[in-house]
Structure 1
C-alpha cells in the first residue's frame, strides 16, 4: 500500500461540512494515508456571522483548524473537498481559495492529482450535485483526475444516490450515519485510485 498524502479541504458555516471532513480524515487514516485537514478562510464579515448563533459558535470552536494554503495543494497526492451549496454553486469562500491556485496551475503542479468532492444543502435537492460539478469544472482545468464515487457501493444509495459525491442535508446537529458511510467509501475509493496511480507497477504499464 502506497503512503499517499491526502488533503481534506473544507468550508463550513455551521458544521455540516466540518463533520464530513472529519469523517474523511478518519477514513483516510484508517486506510494508511497521511492526512491534513484544512479549512478555507472565512470571508464573511463578523457582523453577518454574529446574526446566526450556530454560525458564530462553529467559527469559535474551529479556530484551532489550520487555514488552507497553496502548500497543502502542492503537498497532497489526493484532495478531498467538502463545501456547502450557495444557490447551486460552491460557497464563495471555497471559490476564492481555488482562484488563488493560479501559480501552482501555471507550474503544472496540480496535474494528475486525484480529487473528489462532497457537499450539503438545507434540503435533499438543494443544489448539492450542481455544487460538486461546479467544483469539478475547476479540477478539469487543473488537469487533475476526478474520482467520483459513482455507484460503486451500496452506501451511495443509502445516502441518497448522488454519484458525484456524498451529499448531506444540513440543519441538524449531526450528519446522518448513511451520509457518513458514503463519505468513508468515497474517501477510501479516492485513496485506492491514488495508490494505483502512485504505484510503480501501474506507472510502468
Structure 2
C-alpha cells in the first residue's frame, strides 16, 4: 500500500477544504492517508479568527503534523496559503524541523506535490509553489506536479501546472467544483506515480 501524508496550514479554512479533498481522493485511489495540520505560530492578533479560522481548525479532527509522518509517507502533499508570494511561515517552520530526516536520507525519493490558496488572482500562487520546490530539491524528493495531464487542468479558474491553486477573492469564496476536481486529480496522480516508483525500485 502507498502511504500519503497531507500536510497543510490553513488560516481561513480554504486550504483545509483542499486538503480534505486531497486526502479523500488519495484514499479512493487505494492509499493509506494521514491528514495533518501544522499548528498556528502567529500571534493571535495576526491569525485568522473568523468562523473558519484557526479556532475552528483546531477542532476539525485533523491531528497535528509530526516529522514522523514524513518518514512514514511515500507521498507528501503540502498545502499552504501564500504570504507575500511565499509559503506561510507556519508551514515553513514545520519544514525547517525536518533536518534530522534529511541528514539521514529519509526524504530521498519521496513523491511530493503542493497546492495553495490566495486572496487575489495574482497573489503569488506560482511563486509559492516554486518556493516549496526549493526544499524538495534539497531532499532529493520526486516532484510530481499536476501539469496539464487531465482535462480538469484546462477548466476555467484552474490551469496551474505547478499545483492546484484557489482564489478566495478576499476570503469570501470557498474552493469550487473545479478547484476540488483539480486537487483530486493531483492527489491521484501523485499516488499513481509513487506506486509505480515503489514497484520499480523493488524490482530493481
CA distance in 2, matches of 1:36, 1:97: 16
Q: What TM-score, normalized to structure 2?
A: 0.93
Q: After the TM superposition, list the runs of 4 or more consecutive aligned residues in structure 1 that deviate by more than 3 angstroms.
A: none
* Superimposed CA distance per residue, residues 83-137 of structure 1 (whole angstroms, 9 cap, x where no aligned partner): 0111111010111111110000000000000000001111122100000000011
Out of 146, 154, 168, the residue aligned to residue 151 of structure 2 is: 154
Match of 2:167 in 1: 169
Matches within 5 A, 1:1-205: 3-49=1-47, 52-54=48-50, 57-63=52-58, 64-158=61-155, 159-170=157-168, 171-199=171-199, 201=200, 203-204=202-203
Cα contact 2:13–2:52 (8 A) shared by 1: no
Give the CA RMSD over aligned residues: 1.4
CA distance in 2, matches of 1:108, 1:57: 37
- Gapped regions of structure 1 (runs ≥ 5): none
Cα contact 2:158–2:182 (8 A) shared by 1: no
Q: How many residues align?
A: 199
